[in-house]
Amino acid sequence: MARTELRDALARADRASMQLLMGAGMALLSYVFVAVLLFTVVASLIVIGLGVLPETVLLLRRMAGAKRRQVGRWSGAEIREAYTPLTGTLVERVRKAVKDPGTYRDLRWLVVHFVYGLLLLYAALLLWVIGALVDGVWCALLGRRAVVLPLIVRLADLDTRWSTALLKPSPEAERNAELAERVEELTVTRAGAVAAHGAELRRIERDLHDGTQARLVSLSMRVGLARRAYDKQIAAGPGEAPPDPDVVRKLLADAQDQAEEALTELRHVVRGIHPPILTDRGLVGAVRALAAGSGLDVTVRDDGVEDGPRAPAAVEAAAYFVVAEALTNAAKHSGARRAAVELARGAAGLRLHVSDEGSGGADESGGTGLLGMRRRVAALDGTMEVVSPAGGPTRIGVELPCVW
Amino acid sequence: MRVVIAEDNALLREGLVLLLTSVGHEVAAVAATGPEVLPALLEHRPDVAVLDVRMPPGFRDEGLRAALAARERLPELPVLVLSQYVEETYAAELLGAGASGVGYLLKDRVGRVDEFLDALERVAAGGTALDPEVVTELLTRRGTDPLDSLTPREREALHLMAEGRDNATIGALMSISDRAVSKHIGNVFLKLGLPPSDSGHRRVLAVLAYLNKA
C-alpha cells in the first residue's frame, strides 16, 4: 500500500516537474526574446525597426499564449486572451501594438516569469533530491505518507497562480474582448437575418406576382371581353347575329371564380406575412386556435405571455409560424396523438417549446419544414433546438430575443 | 393579324389567346419559356409579338431580352411587351432601337379590351404604345426645367403624345378639337425647344428623347 502511495506521489511530482521544466524552458526562451525585443526597440528609435515591431509583438503574444495554454492545462481553467487585433496599414499596426495594454502586461509577465520560471525549477530539483532521500525512507520503510514530493506539485500550482495573475487580461480588456466576441456573433447572425429576410421578401413578391396579380389580370380580361360582348349585343343591328349569351355568361362565371381564387391566394400570402388572428387574439389565443385545429390533443401552457405588454409583431408571427409548422409535422409525420405547447415570457425574450408523443426521428434535411422554421427564427436572431431521437419523442425549443 | 404570344402563366396565356382569337386575330404560336421565344418569332414572323417580361427559367427579364434580340434580327418586327410592373429602364432599352412598332404596357391594361386592342394594332402598324405609368415616371423624375413652364393642358397633351397617341385620339381623350390639339402640341414643342415634327412615331421619339435626357 505504501508502495502505491509512493508511486502516486512520484507520478504527481513527475508531472509537476515537467510543467516546471516547460516553464523554465520558456523562461530561457524569453531570454532570447528579450534580445530580439531590445534590438527591435533600438531599431525602432532609428525608424527601421518599426517594420518588425508588430511582428515582434505578435511573437510576444504567441509566447504568452503558449504559457496560457500550458497553465490552463495544469489548472483546468482557461485564461482568456484579449488583444487588439493588429490590422490595417503598417503605421496602424505599429500604433495598435504600442497602444494595446496587453502588450505591456505580456512584457511584465515576460520579465517576472524569467525569474520565477527558473527559480521554481531549481526549487523543484532541490526537492527531488531531498524527496528521494526523505520520502524514500519515510514511505518505503516507515509506511508513512510522502511529505516532500507533494511540495513539487505545490510549486507547479504556484507557477499557475502567478502566471494566471500576470497573464489574465485587465477586467476592462476582458469586457472589451467579451463585447468584441458578441459583436462578431451579432454580425454573423445579422447577416443571416438579412439573408433570411431577403428570401422572405422574394417569396412574398413571387407569390403575389405569379398568383394574385396574374389572377386579377386574367379576371379583368374576362370582364373586359364580357363587356365588349354586351356592347356588341346592344349595338347589333338587324340581320347581325348577337353574341352568344352563354359565352358571355361563361366569361362572367370564370371572372368570378378568379376573383375568389385571387382572394384565397391573398389570404394565404397575408397569413404568411402576419396571421390576422394574431392581431385579433394575441399570440396565446392564436396558438390555442392552432392547437384546436391541429387534429391532435394539444395542451397549451402560457407562462406570463398573455400578461403585460405584447411581443413585437415579427416575434409573434415567427412564434406562431413555428408552432403551426411543429404541430403540422407532429400530426402528419410523428404518429402522435397528443402534443404540448409551452409559451413563456423570459427576461431576454419569448421562449417556446413544442413537444409531441410521437415516433421522433425528425430530420432537418428531410424537408419537413424544420429548415423553414429555423430560417424564420434565425431572421430574428433567435435560436432553435430540435431533439428528436428515433423512437421519439420530438421536442422543439425556440428562443426569440425581444424587448417587452 | 398573326400574333405570337410569350407568357409563362397558363391562366394569362389562355386569356390572351381567348381575347385575341375572339376578336378575329390568329395566334400563330405560344411560348411558355424564355428560350422558346426567339425561335418562335423567327419561324412565324408574326405581324406583332406579345411578350411577357419575366419568364422561366430565370424568372428575370427573359422576355425583354428575347424582344431585344428579335428586334436585332428582325428590325421591323413589332413587339408589345407586357409586364406586371413597369420599369423606366426597360422602356428606355426597348425604345433604344427606335420607337417604331414598340409597345410597353402594364398587364392591367389588357382588361380594357378595346384600348388594349387599339394599342396592339397601333404597334403592329409601326406606332408606339407606352404605358401612362412609364410616361408619368419619365415626367416626374425630372427636376426643374422647361417642363415646368407647360400649362396643365399642355402637360396632358405631352403625356398622351409620349404614350404614342395620334392627334385624333388626343383630341378625343381631352375632349377638344383637332385645332386645339395642334395648338397645345405646337406650344409644347416651342417651350421645350424641339423641332416641330409630324404626328408619326418620329414625334414620339423626339418627345421621349427629350424626357430621357438627364
With contacts defined as CB-CB under 8 Å, which chain A residues touch B19?
221, 224-225
How many other CB atoms sit within 10 Å of the CB of residue A244?
Answer: 11
Residue B213 pLDDT: 66
Domain contains A175: no
Q: Residues B83, B175: one domain?
A: no
Together in a domain, A21 and A157: yes
Tell me, what's the pLDDT at B200? 64
Position B155 in a domain: yes
Q: With contact defined as beta carbons under 8 Å apart, do A387 and A326 qualify?
A: no
Choosing from B105, B131, B157, the residue where a domain stops is: B131
- List pLDDT tens digits, range B161-198: 888 888 899 999 999 999 999 999 888 888 887 777 66
Tell which of B99, B131, B163 closes a domain.
Answer: B131
Q: What's at A104, amino acid-wise?
A: Y
C-alpha distances (whole Å) from A377 to each of A51, A309, A400 are 47, 21, 7
Domain boundary among the residues A128, A149, A169 is at A169
**At a CB cut-off of 8 Å and minimum separation 6, what does B190 contact?**
none
User: How much is the average pLDDT of B200-213?
Assistant: 73
- Domain co-membership, B92 together with B151: no
Taking the C-alpha atoms of residue A55 and residue A60, their distance in angstroms, rounded to an integer, is 9
Q: Is B10 exposed, middle or buried (0-12, 13-18, 19+ CB in 10 A)?
A: exposed
pLDDT (tens, 9 = 90+) of chain A, 404 residues, equals: 556 777 888 888 888 888 888 888 888 888 888 888 888 888 877 777 777 888 888 888 998 999 899 888 888 888 888 888 888 888 888 888 888 888 888 889 988 888 888 888 888 888 888 888 887 777 777 777 777 778 888 888 888 899 888 888 888 888 888 888 888 888 887 887 788 788 888 888 888 988 899 999 999 999 999 998 888 877 777 777 777 788 889 999 999 999 999 988 888 888 888 888 888 888 999 999 888 888 889 999 999 998 888 999 889 999 999 999 999 888 888 888 999 999 999 988 999 999 999 888 887 776 668 888 888 888 788 999 999 998 889 999 999 998 88
A196 with A105, same domain: the answer is no
pLDDT at position A193, please? 78
Same structural domain, A298 and A382: yes
Same domain as B171, residue B75? no
Which residue, A169, A199, A222, sits at the end of a domain?
A: A169
Q: Which CATH number belongs to the domain containing residue A291 in this structure?
A: 3.30.565.10
The cell numbers describing A320, all together, are 406562431
Q: Which domain holds residue A249?
A: 180-273
Residue B137 lies in a domain: no
pLDDT for B150: 87
Strands A383-387 and B2-6: unpaired
Contact A223 B111 (CB under 8 A): yes
Task: Mark residue A170 as left, alpha or beta (left: phi above 0; alpha: psi -120 to 50; beta: remaining).
Answer: beta
User: What is residue A2's predicted lDDT score, i.e. its pLDDT?
Assistant: 57
C-alpha cell at A46: 532609428
B6 CB contacts (<8 Å, ≥6 apart)?
A: B30, B31, B32, B36, B37, B40, B49, B50, B51, B52, B55, B63, B66
Q: Is A259 on the interface with B (CB under 8 A)?
A: no
pLDDT of res. A368: 62
Q: So what's the pLDDT on residue A386?
A: 92
Domain holding B153, by residue range, is 142-212
- Of A111, A144, A169, the position where a domain reaches its end is A169
For the entire predicted model, the pTM comes to: 0.63
Total structural domains in chain B?
Answer: 2
Q: How far is A194 from chain B (nearest CA, A)?
A: 22
> Which is nearest to B53 in space by CA: B41, B65, B71, B42?
B65
A294 and A330 fall within a common domain = yes
Read off the C-alpha cell for B144. 426643374
Query: Do residues A226 and A285 share a domain?
Result: no
Q: Is B151 in a helix, a strand, or coil?
A: coil
Q: Which residues of A117-154 are buried (b: 16+ CB within 10 A; e: fewer)?
A: bbebbebbeebbeebeeebeebbeeeeeebebbbbbbe
If we measure between CA atoms, which residue out of B113, B48, B107, B54 comes closest to residue B74? B48
Residues of A in contact with B15 (CB under 8 A): 217-218, 221-222
Chain A residues closer than 8 Å to B54 by CB: 209
What confidence category does residue B209 fall into, taking pLDDT thresholds of 50, 70 and 90?
confident
Closest CB to A214: pick one of B12, B112, B113.
B12
Residues 6+ apart with CB under 8 A from A329: A362, A368, A369, A370, A394
Q: Which residues of B touch A248 (CB under 8 A)?
A: none
- pLDDT band for B214, please (50, 70, 90 cuts): very low
Instruction: Sort out which chain B residues have CB atoms less than 8 A from A219's CB and list them.
Output: 111
Question: Chain B contact for A258, CB < 8 A?
Answer: yes
The reply to whether omega before B57 is within 30° of 0 (cis) is yes
Q: Is B91 exposed, middle or buried (0-12, 13-18, 19+ CB in 10 A)?
A: buried
Touching check for A220 and chain B: CB below 8 Å?
yes
Nearest to A214 among B9, B18, B112 (CB): B9
The residue whose grid cell reads 509577465 is A109
B21-29's contacts with Cβ under 8 Å and 24+ in sequence apart are B22/A225, B23/B113, B23/B117, B25/B1, B26/B1, B26/B2, B27/B2, B27/B3, B28/B2, B28/B3, B28/B4, B29/B4, B29/B5
User: pLDDT by residue (tens digit) across B112-163?
Assistant: 999 999 999 999 999 889 999 888 877 776 555 778 888 999 989 988 988 8
A250 and A355 share one domain? no
Domain count, chain A: 3
Nearest to A225 among B12, B22, B59 (CB): B22
Question: How close B130 gets to chain A, by Cα (Å)?
Answer: 18
Residues forming beta bridges with residue B103, ordered by sequence position: B80, B129
Last residue of a domain, one of B102, B131, B160: B131
- Indicate if A75 and A136 belong to the same structural domain: yes
Long-range CB contacts (< 8 A, 24+ apart) of B59-64? B59/A206, B61/B90, B62/B33, B62/B34, B62/B35, B62/B37, B63/B6, B63/B34, B63/B37, B64/B90, B64/B93, B64/B94
| A353 and A257 both lie in a single domain | no
* Distance, CA of B198 to CA of B207 (rounded, Å): 12
Q: Looking at the structure, do residues B37 and B110 belong to the same domain, yes or no? A: yes
Q: Which residue in B54, B59, B113 is closest to A224 by CB distance?
A: B113
| A221/B111 CB distance under 8 A | yes
CA distance B192 to B161: 14
User: B100 — phi, psi (to 5°)?
Assistant: -70, 125
Residues of B with a Cβ under 8 Å from any A Cβ are 9, 11-12, 14-16, 18-19, 22, 54, 59, 84, 107-108, 110-114, 116
